[in-house]
Structure 1
């Protein structure tokens, strides 16, 4: 499978500050408490693991060998002992079955070509009532654009993600748009969707 070329993203301090001021903190949407197991995927994931401390276990997956090695070095350099690294494939994150309380995907879902398959794997990996949080950017002028056009610009409208989630079997718990207004920084806003695995 041909891999996309990814530009290195650098966190903007104003973006991070905006996230902290957001009405609904991502971690709160996941109901993260002592002893919970969760998967952060995307921007600031290691920072979140550090913030949550050793009381929670983070599992971060990657399928590119170079990025995986960089992540291992990153974790060691920061002394993050509550992160278990799982090597996944582009269409299968190889997560344990019914083991996760939450999955957080930030500014990364639009990169997943096999999104339907990945969502099915995530659903299987979540415990009953486990939650998936998606957070993606979209510029106002491209909200009605085709999915291919949006993904080519590294963004995605909420409607596409909600359709994917419902198709995979998730229940939508919360929709927040905008979640973070980045127009002054990047010319877009970020939305957030919280979905839950049914309890059957």
Structure 2
């Protein structure tokens, strides 16, 4: 590699590292509270003190922190990710906020490894489109929920891939509501409510958020 190539490689690595760190500062989280309307989502899912919930695709713990405060010390949050480094950062974030009711789980790509029949609600926020084995994962989630447990899915739909196939949308890290709605119903869920336009992801004009709240049905 030439000196010029090495310089640009190092510069890119530095920029990526810097952006990765900046993405999860407290100020960024506060901004996300507003554009994602997080408090509204937790009210919509009726999360309350004593609940047992899960955050699948938790990353460094943005939603897990909110959930931990909402369910209070009598409740429990299972924070699931497939990367242990993210979970390590989440534990640091939780400790710095004196939150002791979060349990981290290193999940598999086809299994979130949640306890069966224990959960009141599972949140899958901006993660569903990343799940290749979605049928298996949905089935695991259903088994983990209590008899009247719920799942909330939030995704973003990019304008340029509206009307495209599921495969094309997933390749663009995006997904339309109708795909997920059908998949949840086929897996034994009934739709409780849905929001087709929940606002703009990160306030970007080409990324419209949608939300589905579904309930486990008895089979």
TM-score norm. by structure 1 comes to 0.84
Q: Deviations for 1:6-51, whole angstroms, at most 9, x for unmatched residues?
A: x9555476543133388xx221232212211001234621331354
| Alpha carbons 1:177, 1:190 under 8 Å: kept | yes
RCO comparison, higher one (Cα < 8 Å, 6+): 1
1:146 pairs with 2:161: no
Q: Classify 1:116/1:67 alpha carbon distance in 2 versus 1 (closer, same or farther; 3 Å).
A: same
Distance 1:196 1:21 in 2: 20
How many equivalent residue pairs?
Answer: 192
Distance 1:143 1:32 in 2: 32
Q: Which has the larger radius of gyration?
A: 2
1:65 pairs with 2:80: no
- In structure 2, stretches of 5+ residues that fail to align are 1-18
The Cα shift of 1:108 comes to: 0.7
Q: Name whichever structure is richer in helix by fraction.
A: 2
**What's the counterpart of residue 40 of structure 1?**
55
TM-score norm. by structure 2 comes to 0.78
Q: Name whichever structure is richer in strand by fraction.
A: 1
> RMSD of aligned C-alpha atoms?
2.4
**What's the counterpart of residue 17 of structure 1?**
34
| Alpha carbons 2:123, 2:153 under 8 Å: kept | yes
1:26 pairs with 2:30: no
Once the two structures are superposed, the pairs formed by residues 3-14 of structure 1 within 5 Å of their partners are 8=20, 11=28
1:93 pairs with 2:108: no
> Where in structure 1 do 4 or more consecutive aligned residues deviate above 4 Å?
7-15
Distance 2:198 2:110 in 1: 28
